[in-house]
Structure 1
Amino acid sequence: MSSLKSSFYSLLALLLLGQAVVAQASLPDFTELVEEAAPAVVNISTRQKIPERVAGAGELAIPDLEGLPPIFREFFERNIPQVPRAPNGGRQREAQSLGSGFIISADGYVLTNNHVVAGADEIIVRLPDRSELEARLIGADPRSDVALLKVEGKDLPTVRLGKSEDLKVGEWVLAIGSPFGFDHSVTAGIVSAKGRSLPNESYVPFIQTDVAINPGNSGGPLFNLAGEVVGINSQIFTRSGGFMGLSFAIPMSVAMDVAEQLKADGKVSRGWLGVVIQEVNKDLAESFGLDKPAGALVAQVLEGGPAAKGGLLVGDVILSIDGKPIVMSGDLPHLVGRLKPGSEAELDVVRDGSRKQLALTIGALPEDGEALAGATGPGVERSSNRLGVKVVELSAEQKKGLDLKGGVVISEVLDGPAALIGLRPGDVITHLNNQAIDSAKTFTQVAQELPKNRSVSMRVLRQGRASFITFKLAE
């Protein structure tokens, strides 16, 4: 019996050992990739000279160390950075940053993040052999967070560029960079998602990974298993200041398009529709007659913009552009931004529950967007209704200021559905239940005919920004 037990345990041990060997064999070996690619990955440091301001209220003044007892002078020298003297005898301080980058051409073009070099007076690129080269900023694009640098050199080591669009979720990827200044640190993980939209980052469909990225990795390359760069490590999601499992990289297709424009023109031009959009949730999908939540809902059309000239209307739901589907509203800016200004685009939209094709000419994204200024004031006609709001008509001056042909402004919110959905005095209502509101009288009529126990949409302007909200009226 003991020999039987012994044989059983021996067999079990062999099986477990075999599984471990198979598991180990299935894990990728990154050593050759790192040996080949690492020479082209660089450390980037910057210096920015900032004149010292006179310390005011709430600011800490740096003390004069002269005349202090030795024990106090030693404390201040150790804990407070010394401020260099400016040429005029005043004081100046240096702001320093540290990041990563990679060489994309043998004659010295380097890619990194814009936030690594923004505002720098001096940019130093350090190669793996510890040699340092001063870099010149060719151009930077804050919207994509890409910067192109140039160092003087010949036959410099370069990375191989890959196609980020060929990446698959679950695929192994590797990062090389300088987290916290530790040069050429290597971390690996998998692609967690593609096409991620981040707040205030409308023009980059980020690659999400679980590769460990920390401060100093910014601007460094993200490699696939073939040793090709597929992205630039740019951001992390963190509550602690360090890595928490969510890293985001700029796709190489986006980065190279930006780099080529910066090299040729020193700036980047992007396509523009001239609309404000929002996500389509379940209730909005029901309200607009969609089978499922998808697309980008047009909440605002800017007067004189490409969308207005092409016939796009408030309340249209854009389902695709040039045949490329819009699953989430954040997909639209990515796709439009890649189009060349002046090019033609075909949009598939849902309007009043029916599919419609629109052809329009893409415009150029303005340098600085301007929000519409909201305004409220006394109207001519007043109305109350079952929604629990009092509204007044917009004056001609308000309509002109808001670029509106109609609409009503909320003067008072009473107890009722309006209070529950968060409406406020000063909100401007332009559409209710997919119908344009041109007067207080129209608003009252539409409100009286609202269906019960079904999602109803309302378009509201608050501080100049438009959005659709949904609600249901109970029996």
Structure 2
Amino acid sequence: MAMHENDHSEALKARIKSPKRASRRVSMLLGAVALGALSTGALLQSTFDVGPAPAYAQNLSAQVPTANPAGFADVVDHVKPAVVSVRVKVAVEGASAEGLDLRQFGLPEGSPFERFFRRFGEEDQRGQRPAPRRFGEAQGSGFFISADGYVVTNNHVVEKAREVEIQTDDGKTYSAKVVGTDPKTDLALLKVDEGGKFPYVSFASGTPRVGDWVLAVGNPFGLGGTVTAGIVSARGRDIGAGPYDDFLQVDAAVNRGNSGGPTFNTSGEVVGVNTAIASPSGGNVGIAFAIPAETVQKVVAEIKDHGTVRRGYLGVQIQPINEGIAEGLGLKEAKGAIVARVEDGSPAAKAGIKSGDAILAVDGQEVKNARELARDIAGFAPGRTVDITVWRGGKKSDISVTLATMPGEKTASAESGEEQAGRLGLSLAPSGSVDGVDKDGVVVVGVEPGSPAEERGLRTGDVIVTVGGKKVETPQDVRQAVTELRKEGRKAVLMQVETASGARFVALPLA
């Protein structure tokens, strides 16, 4: 039985917007498939004759549809022009004189010979000078999601980028800028600098089923335009990559360089973004993970509209409800999440949620486990009021909570205080302007990739308490302190920083 020539192509055209159109004849060899099934069935019956099945049993295999496409060439022809290779230039640091200890030469710190040793005393055993800063390249994949040049890829592909280029399927190269990234879901949005009408693809509106065919297109090992096929192996995988893990597991061949590339269904719609593989060797073993299209659409829309991803914040520490906890609480099922701790001053505390409450639903939607609750709350915009269904004292009750902004994320009122003159690579905001921060000081709301701040371990959410021994409360305080230290001839600024793991001092170079 053969399909009409344009049936499959017309269905693809309705979903995929591309200046290149193609259609080919696709044949369905159902007769041969059915014959093979009958022959196999006869063999099994004669070899394993176990008598008639019980009346209550069902032969599930006999009910499975057998109509599958004979190939994927038409799908590939339509979607391939929208998939790109992402090339990133990153700084590669050579040996540094930062840690040179002059005392090993019997000289005190600040000696007049310091400059001499900084220039000539750092030679290694071969008498060679340390290598200067140089640049290397990294490669990944991506895909156009709009005709005006927006490209989706992984955050880890571009997080330390100095320059970004994309190469299209027809060999053309364009420079691109990073619009924004979201490390928590490992997604990034790029924008091609040059205008034009680029071929692009659309996201699938539904979630694929386990067993559905999928195609991975990308740039493995620098081999651009590579297509592999497989099926959806599982859904909802938590691989410990981030707080909102909800991956599709696929068995299509995915390797290094496929990161950021799309996974398509047989209709040419994007069902996921390839992100990680499970492999003892680093190569494909048939276990790959893709970020679901639903998550990608939400994150990309937030980045495009706001430059960052705004997430709702409830302010509780939670843990899963197991059988023992459910029995102790009087719950019939081990579902939901129990509140282990309520953060002071958080939305949950203000609304009256208490430690020991079991959260069962959010806005009427059942919560299956703690991980799902975290994703649900993060999916709401800050300022949104939601109804939290809790189990307390043997009965259910609904509590209305107005969510705040996730601590450490930049808010609309955050005052930019990036230290440009010193090239420290920090974006700062007063602690009072960032919800959930209960420490006095200045909050780090952004760290420039490859900057001295990143190299010294400063992270978003850290709170700077003092700079050069002086307390700071605003970004202006930080700038002023840095300026004064520079006038004094200091080569580094010492900052006292409060982090999630405790307090520490960080020295950032001023030169």
Q: Do both proteins adopt the same fold according to a TM-score greater than 0.5, normalized to the shorter chain?
A: yes
In the alignment of these two chains, the number of paired residues is 335
Q: Which moved more, 1:144-153 or 1:249-258?
A: 249-258
Q: What residue in structure 1 maps to residue 135 of structure 2?
A: 94
> Distance in 2 between the 1:278 and 1:105 partners?
40
1:195-344 matched pairs, under 5 angstroms? 195-344=236-385
Checking the alignment, whether the CA contact within 8 Å between 2:310 and 2:409 is kept in structure 1 is no
Among 187, 193, 201, the alignment partner of 1:159 is 201
Checking the alignment, whether the CA contact within 8 Å between 1:195 and 1:331 is kept in structure 2 is no
Among 127, 149, 164, the alignment partner of 1:123 is 164
Query: CA-to-partner distance for each residue in 1:136-192, whole Å, 9 max, x for gaps?
Result: 1111111121111111131111112222x4322222221111122221221222223
User: What displacement does 1:200 show?
Assistant: 4.8
Checking the alignment, whether the CA contact within 8 Å between 2:207 and 2:271 is kept in structure 1 is no
User: What displacement does 1:317 show?
Assistant: 1.2
1:40-189 matched pairs, under 5 angstroms? 40-54=82-96, 91-151=132-192, 152-163=194-205, 165-189=206-230
1:318-467 matched pairs, under 5 angstroms? 318-367=359-408
Q: What residue in structure 1 maps to residue 54 of structure 2?
A: none
Query: CA-to-partner distance for each residue in 1:95-130, whole Å, 9 max, x for gaps?
Result: 322110001111111110010001110111011111
More strand by share: 1
> Does the residue aligned with 1:263 lie in a helix, a strand or coil?
helix
> Distance in 2 between the 1:153 and 1:64 partners?
51
> Distance in 1 between the 2:132 and 2:219 partners?
31
Checking the alignment, whether the CA contact within 8 Å between 1:204 and 1:254 is kept in structure 2 is no
For residue 399 of structure 2, what is the amino acid of its counterpart?
L
> Distance in 2 between the 1:23 and 1:361 partners?
48
> Distance in 1 between the 2:374 and 2:135 partners?
38
Query: CA-to-partner distance for each residue in 1:348-390, whole Å, 9 max, x for gaps?
Result: 2211332222111111111169xxxxxxxxxxxxxxxxxxxxx
> Distance in 1 between the 2:286 and 2:348 partners?
39
Alpha carbons of 1:225 and 1:301: their partners in 2 closer, same or farther (altered >3 Å)?
Answer: same
Alpha carbons of 1:285 and 1:262: their partners in 2 closer, same or farther (altered >3 Å)?
Answer: same
Checking the alignment, whether the CA contact within 8 Å between 2:165 and 2:176 is kept in structure 1 is yes
> Distance in 1 between the 2:124 and 2:264 partners?
45
Query: CA-to-partner distance for each residue in 1:376-412, whole Å, 9 max, x for gaps?
Result: xxxxxxxxxxxxxxxxxxxxxxxxxx99xxxxxxxxx
User: What displacement does 1:64 show?
Assistant: 6.0
Taking only aligned residues, the RMSD between alpha carbons, in angstroms, comes to 3.2
Q: What residue in structure 2 maps to residue 33 of structure 1?
A: 75
Instruction: Name structure 2 gaps, 5 residues minimum.
Output: 1-33, 41-63, 101-122, 411-437, 440-500, 503-511
For residue 94 of structure 1, what is the amino acid of its counterpart?
F
For residue 137 of structure 1, what is the amino acid of its counterpart?
V
Checking the alignment, whether the CA contact within 8 Å between 1:317 and 1:350 is kept in structure 2 is yes
> Does the residue aligned with 1:297 lie in a helix, a strand or coil?
strand
Alpha carbons of 1:28 and 1:141: their partners in 2 closer, same or farther (altered >3 Å)?
Answer: farther
Alpha carbons of 1:192 and 1:118: their partners in 2 closer, same or farther (altered >3 Å)?
Answer: same
> Does the residue aligned with 1:161 lie in a helix, a strand or coil?
coil
> Does the residue aligned with 1:166 lie in a helix, a strand or coil?
coil
For residue 260 of structure 2, what is the amino acid of its counterpart?
G
> Distance in 2 between the 1:192 and 1:121 partners?
37
> Distance in 2 between the 1:19 and 1:227 partners?
34
> Does the residue aligned with 1:240 lie in a helix, a strand or coil?
coil
> Distance in 2 between the 1:328 and 1:247 partners?
24
For residue 272 of structure 1, what is the amino acid of its counterpart?
Y
Instruction: Name structure 1 gaps, 5 residues minimum.
Output: 1-13, 67-84, 370-401, 404-462, 465-475
> Does the residue aligned with 1:250 lie in a helix, a strand or coil?
strand
Checking the alignment, whether the CA contact within 8 Å between 2:95 and 2:131 is kept in structure 1 is no
Alpha carbons of 1:259 and 1:26: their partners in 2 closer, same or farther (altered >3 Å)?
Answer: closer
User: What displacement does 1:135 show?
Assistant: 0.9
Q: Which moved more, 1:168-177 or 1:200-209?
A: 200-209
> Distance in 2 between the 1:218 and 1:65 partners?
41
Alpha carbons of 1:286 and 1:15: their partners in 2 closer, same or farther (altered >3 Å)?
Answer: same
> Does the residue aligned with 1:115 lie in a helix, a strand or coil?
helix
> Distance in 2 between the 1:183 and 1:65 partners?
42
Q: What residue in structure 2 maps to residue 451 of structure 1?
A: none
TM-score by length of 2: 0.60
User: What displacement does 1:23 show?
Assistant: 10
